[in-house]
């Protein structure tokens, strides 16, 4: 089984990592895990005044900080994983990565917003569910 684990550095993302670590053995024969961190792009007017290397360095450093706790938690459980990051709309990028990478499942944490908050704000989880053709496991 090929699993895409979307992490954002939040406590909700940590819950998803912990859940996957605890239930890794039940995920099939030799499951593989790929961590993904998605960053929204910086505002274009700000980017236009910065050297490209600085912008790319910012994205790389911010993603490394978000991914590191998940990598450590999985390693502590004896689980190896791949890791990557992209810049864009989080929901669209998670769904696209899941499909392009031919993942069997997406695992992600839910911020636990109520019905009205999700309707008003539109959560990443709701958008991933709507746009992803791959099964999604949401951890609360």
Residue 16 belongs to domain with CATH number: 3.40.50.620
Tell me what percent of the residues of the chain surpass a pLDDT of 90. Answer: 74
* Number of folded domains that form the chain: 1
Phi, psi of 108 (to 5 degrees): -155, 155
Q: Region 9-36: what's the mean pLDDT?
A: 91
Structural domain for 61, as ranges: 2-139
Q: Region 71-99: what's the mean pLDDT?
A: 96
Instruction: Report the predicted TM-score, pTM, of the whole model to 2 decimal places.
Output: 0.89
Contact present, 21 and 69 (Cβ < 8 Å) = no
Token pair in block for residue 23: 């239930």
Residues with Cβ within 8 Å of 79's Cβ and at least 6 positions away in sequence, in order, are 20, 21, 24, 33
Residue 111: predicted pLDDT? 74
Tell me the pLDDT tens digit for each residue of 113-135.
555 545 544 488 989 999 999 99
Q: Region 24-35: what's the mean pLDDT?
A: 89
Contact present, 95 and 63 (Cβ < 8 Å) = no
Closest to 42 (Cα-Cα) out of 30, 34, 54, 33: 54
Token pair in block for residue 130: 């709507």
């Amino acid at each position: 089984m090929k699993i895409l684990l979307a992490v954002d550095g939040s406590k909700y993302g940590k819950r998803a990592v912990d859940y996957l670590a605890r239930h890794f053995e039940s995920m099939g024969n030799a499951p593989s895990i790929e961590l993904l961190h998605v960053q929204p792009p910086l505002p274009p007017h700000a980017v236009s005044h910065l050297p490209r290397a600085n912008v790319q360095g910012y994205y790389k450093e911010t993603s490394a900080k978000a991914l590191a706790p998940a990598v450590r938690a999985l390693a502590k459980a004896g689980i190896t994983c791949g890791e990557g990051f992209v810049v864009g709309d989080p929901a669209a990028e998670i769904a696209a990565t899941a499909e392009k990478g031919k993942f069997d499942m997406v695992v992600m944490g839910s911020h636990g917003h109520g019905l009205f908050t999700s309707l008003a704000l539109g959560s990443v989880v709701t958008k991933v569910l709507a746009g992803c053709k791959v099964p999604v496991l949401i951890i609360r």
